[in-house]
Structure 1
Amino acid sequence: MGRSIILDVDTGTDDAVAIMFAALHPEIELLAVTTVNGNVPLADTTDNTLRVLDWIERPEIPVFAGLSRPIARSGFPGARHFDRDSGNDPHGSALPIPPPRGTAQDVGAVEYLVETLRSTTEPLTLVPVGPLSNIATVLTIDPSLTEAVEEVVVMGGGHATTNVTASAEFNIWADPEAANVVFSAGFRRLTLVPLDATHRALVTRSACRVLEGLATPAGIAAARFIGRRIDAYGASAAGEEAAPVHDVLCTAYLVRPDVITTRHLALTVETASPLTIGRTVMDTRPGSTATRNAHVAFDADAALLIELLTQVFGTDA
């Protein structure tokens, strides 16, 4: 067994693929999954997470429900950037697999994270792939808990590529104050996987057919989830229909760091300007003397990602 990790998710389709990868890869010990408001409301992110773990026969992995709103704002900011359950929605409200048999734990995500990080004897890896509300709240309760984290791997942000606004990516925009807390917390290593990288690792329609042909629960589900994303995105890779599967690039990185290419940069987030709220500001200036606090991915290896998905999803739990 390799890295011990906790996934923090807002489970729609790309989170679901990341969960399956982490739960099934032999070099990852998935200790728990915590959920947060994001792609869909908290009740749905939690339900979808439980569905995924049941589907791949890993119901013993505990799920803890977290925050249902941003840490500082009165509600979920702004309008969604797609119409729920429409053709341009890559997630839908409920994942197209059976409802879960189990339920989330009675303890909340923040309490679980605080107690686990306080009691661990070996540094853990946190992998938040949704809005950073849960992680920021943990750090607000006890800033010293960064010492219990080997690495935090965040999916979010964008430099040249954004989505929800002209300036911002959804996860960071959904709770920019939380992102600010996490980015400035002083983790020993923070790796950011933004849209600049995830859009360099598109998964194609033909790769989905290969995944489906594996005839495993994970392969079948991944093909279904990624197919929905392709329908919504309409992107192309070398002339073929394809789409980014943002969150799984983070879990793939845990076992194959060379799946992304990073630069060590100073990273901050805009929390005030109405035009650029949620923008991840990455100081790419040559010779900048700003304190470098993040390893930011600007490129990714699509072929390697697809190879990893095929390998991991080709074996049942």
Structure 2
Amino acid sequence: MARKVILDVDTGTDDAVAIMFAALHPDLDLLGVTTVNGNVPLENTTDNTLRVLDWIGCPGIPVHPGVPRPIVRRGFPGGRHFEQDDDHDPHGTALPIPAPRIAAQDTGAVEYLVETLRATAEQITLVAVGPLSNVATALAIDPSLAGAVEQLVVMGGGHAVANVTASAEFNIWADPEAASVVLSAGFDPLTLVTLDATHQALVPQTTCDALEGLGTPAGTAAARFISRRIAAYEQMAVAGNAAPVHDVVCTAYLVEPEVISTRSFPVEVETASPLTVGRTVIDTRPDSKSERNAHVALHADAARLNELLLTTFARDTAS
């Protein structure tokens, strides 16, 4: 039986690959997608999400627009908002596929999450690969939702690796108060897929070429998106002729857990310090007395991920 999934995204290129994976893999049943302010403003994350689902022939998967700003701050820490695509790619806010012919749902993301998780008797996995504003807002309405989720998988944070600042990963930094709420809410299990892991699961240009050669809509789009990421990472002089595709590591993990390896650690989020705001403080001390509230992925298997991308995106449709 396919695992039922809700995907919470701030769709740029890596979210797009994760959405296609979740929509097309036969072991996953993507119930809905919720969008949040993050890589780009909410209207763009929603538009990009609709573009992806329309492009791969999955117009029936509902898209629910969510929270347009952090839950506490007037803007991002430091007052910045990236008006560009993932990882500060300079090519603009819209994904390079046609504009969608489908529309978002009238029901907002938070209402959808609360109503769906309250009402369901089924086990649902929530995968959050953007800032955690939607999830934290839903918890503010109903804290018991943490117990209604079979598993929460979060792409965010880092131990030895950061990106948006010297201390912080973007998703956590973009709404650190939301991340703090979610990490302390009692989700069990909560799996945190960090930059330490995703930077080990690099996708090379050779995989992009193979994806393009599949001739499927998803393969073509994934090749385009990942090649774009590779070009951006080359400009930053990291990763060589390859790039991390952070968010798809989370959806790949759902069908093949060996894609990552995890250990249980206490994790907290810094929300006060101007220097380290948004840092995930992962307490790796073996004698720590703090609650081990997350299964933290610090390692990943690139070969497994690349193989899964090729086999999944060989599919023409979700049927």
Q: TM-score, normalised by structure 2?
A: 0.95
Aligned to 2:105: 105
Counterpart contact for 1:81–1:164, Cα < 8 Å: no
Q: Does 1:194 align with 2:173?
A: no
Aligned to 2:241: 241
Distance 1:249 1:90, change over 3 A: farther
SS at match of 2:168: coil
Residue correspondences, number: 315
Q: Distance in 1 between matches of 2:153 and 2:288?
A: 24
SS at match of 1:143: coil
Aligned to 2:166: 166
**Match of 2:43, as an amino acid?**
A
Q: Distance in 2 between matches of 1:147 and 1:274?
A: 33
Give the Å deviation of 1:80.
Answer: 5.1
Q: Distance in 2 between matches of 1:137 and 1:125?
A: 18
Aligned to 2:55: 55
Q: Which moved more, 1:301-310 or 1:228-237?
A: 228-237
Aligned to 2:232: 232
What does 1:1-317 align with in structure 2 at a 5 Å threshold? Answer: 1-78=1-78, 84=84, 89=89, 92-234=92-234, 241-317=241-317
Q: Distance in 2 between matches of 1:18 and 1:139?
A: 24
Q: Which moved more, 1:2-11 or 1:285-294?
A: 285-294
Counterpart contact for 2:71–2:137, Cα < 8 Å: yes
Q: Distance in 2 between matches of 1:308 and 1:90?
A: 29
**Match of 2:19, as an amino acid?**
I
SS at match of 1:160: coil
Give the Å deviation of 1:83.
Answer: 7.2
Give the Å deviation of 1:102.
Answer: 1.0
Q: Which moved more, 1:74-83 or 1:39-48?
A: 74-83
Give the Å deviation of 1:88.
Answer: 5.3
Give the Å deviation of 1:171.
Answer: 0.3
Distance 1:41 1:82, change over 3 A: closer
Q: Distance in 1 between matches of 2:74 and 2:84?
A: 22
Task: Kindly provide the CA deviation profile for residues 68-100 of structure 1, in whole angstroms up to 9, marking residues without a partner as x.
Answer: 000001123336587737995177300000000
Q: Distance in 1 between matches of 2:87 and 2:71?
A: 31
Q: TM-score, normalised by structure 1?
A: 0.96
Task: Kindly provide the CA deviation profile for residues 232-280 of structure 1, in whole angstroms up to 9, marking residues without a partner as x.
Answer: 012666xx50000000000000000000011110011001111110000
Query: Structure 2: which 5+ runs fail to align?
Result: none
SS at match of 1:243: strand
Counterpart contact for 1:14–1:245, Cα < 8 Å: yes
Counterpart contact for 2:14–2:86, Cα < 8 Å: no
Q: Distance in 1 between matches of 2:190 and 2:33?
A: 19
Query: Structure 1: which 5+ runs fail to align?
Result: none
Counterpart contact for 1:252–1:308, Cα < 8 Å: yes
Distance 1:41 1:244, change over 3 A: same
Task: Kindly provide the CA deviation profile for residues 38-77 of structure 1, in whole angstroms up to 9, marking residues without a partner as x.
Answer: 0000000000000000000000000000000000011233
**Match of 1:269, as an amino acid?**
V
Q: Distance in 2 between matches of 1:215 and 1:2?
A: 26
Identity %: 72
